[in-house]
């Protein structure tokens, strides 16, 4: 589902239309928190793009890219990361339990003109570091690459809505009452993105928004 879709030169970042596709050079990278797994997943996703949509050129060098697709797929091991009264961190950073290389993501966002960021929301992650540099943000829920590519290309409409509230900060996470759903918390607990969208329960955009 679509969480943010910024405008550049009078056009939204998504979808990539047929008229645009031939001019797109797409850099693809997956971030899982483990270097070997990330590299393997990146190669697989690149091949899936090539197989399903040969109208977009996939490039290996970010310096050649006009667009990036960065798919963040975090995970936590509660048995390993929840230790000594210190619960696992849901912050998407390299130095936190998720191990997501936020510095690499931000570097790519600086280098490449148009950046599409996907985040796999198996948990309500803290996205403060990596959201602002994106031009479009998608949420996935163990979604197949084929479905994501179809959404990026506008083969079907974005109609989904978030099933929970994304927290604004670590303080929001720590103050969250376990028996109170996110939508019933203080509104300031919900993340507000760089275009003032509030990522609370049922947030989701269509391409016409």
* pLDDT value at residue 9: 86
Q: Which of 147, 70, 59, 65 is nearest to 103 (CA)?
A: 70
Q: Which of 128, 126, 39 is nearest to 76 (CA)?
A: 126
Q: How far apart are CA 181 and CA 197, in angstroms?
A: 19
For 106-136, the pLDDT digits (tens) are: 999 999 999 999 999 999 999 999 999 999 9
pTM of the full structure = 0.92
Q: How far apart are CA 101 and CA 108, in angstroms?
A: 11
Is residue 179 very low, low, confident or very high in pLDDT (cuts 50, 70, 90)?
very low
Task: Name the average pLDDT for the chain.
Answer: 91
* pLDDT value at residue 84: 56
Q: How far is CA 10 from CA 6, 69, 136, in A?
A: 10, 21, 15
* pLDDT value at residue 173: 84
Neighbours of 187 (CB within 10 A): 11
Domain annotation for the chain: domains and CATH numbers: 2-189 (3.40.50.1700)
* pLDDT value at residue 101: 98
Is residue 8 very low, low, confident or very high in pLDDT (cuts 50, 70, 90)?
confident
> Is residue 20 pLDDT above 50, yes or no?
yes
Q: Where are the alpha helices (DSSP H) in the chain?
A: 18-21, 35-52, 78-81, 102-111, 145-152, 170-175
């Amino acid at each position: 589902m679509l969480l943010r879709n910024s405008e550049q030169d009078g056009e939204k970042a998504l979808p990539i239309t047929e008229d645009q596709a031939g001019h797109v050079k797409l850099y693809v990278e997956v971030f899982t928190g483990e270097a070997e797994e990330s590299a393997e997943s990146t190669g697989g996703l690149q091949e899936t793009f090539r197989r399903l949509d040969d109208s977009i050129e996939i490039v290996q060098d970010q310096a050649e890219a006009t667009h990036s697709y960065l798919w963040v797929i975090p995970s936590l091991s509660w048995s390993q990361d929840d230790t000594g009264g210190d619960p696992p961190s849901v912050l998407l950073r390299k130095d936190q339990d998720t191990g997501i290389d936020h510095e690499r993501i931000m570097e790519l966002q600086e280098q490449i003109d148009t950046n599409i960021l996907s985040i796999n929301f198996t948990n309500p992650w803290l996205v403060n570091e990596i959201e602002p540099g994106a031009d479009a943000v998608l949420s996935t829920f163990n979604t197949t690459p084929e479905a994501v590519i179809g959404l990026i290309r506008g083969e079907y409409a974005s109609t989904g809505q978030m099933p929970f509230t994304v927290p604004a900060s670590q303080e929001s996470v720590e103050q969250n009452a376990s028996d109170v759903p996110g939508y019933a918390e203080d509104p300031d607990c919900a993340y507000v993105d760089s275009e003032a969208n509030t990522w609370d329960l049922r947030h989701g955009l269509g391409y016409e928004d």
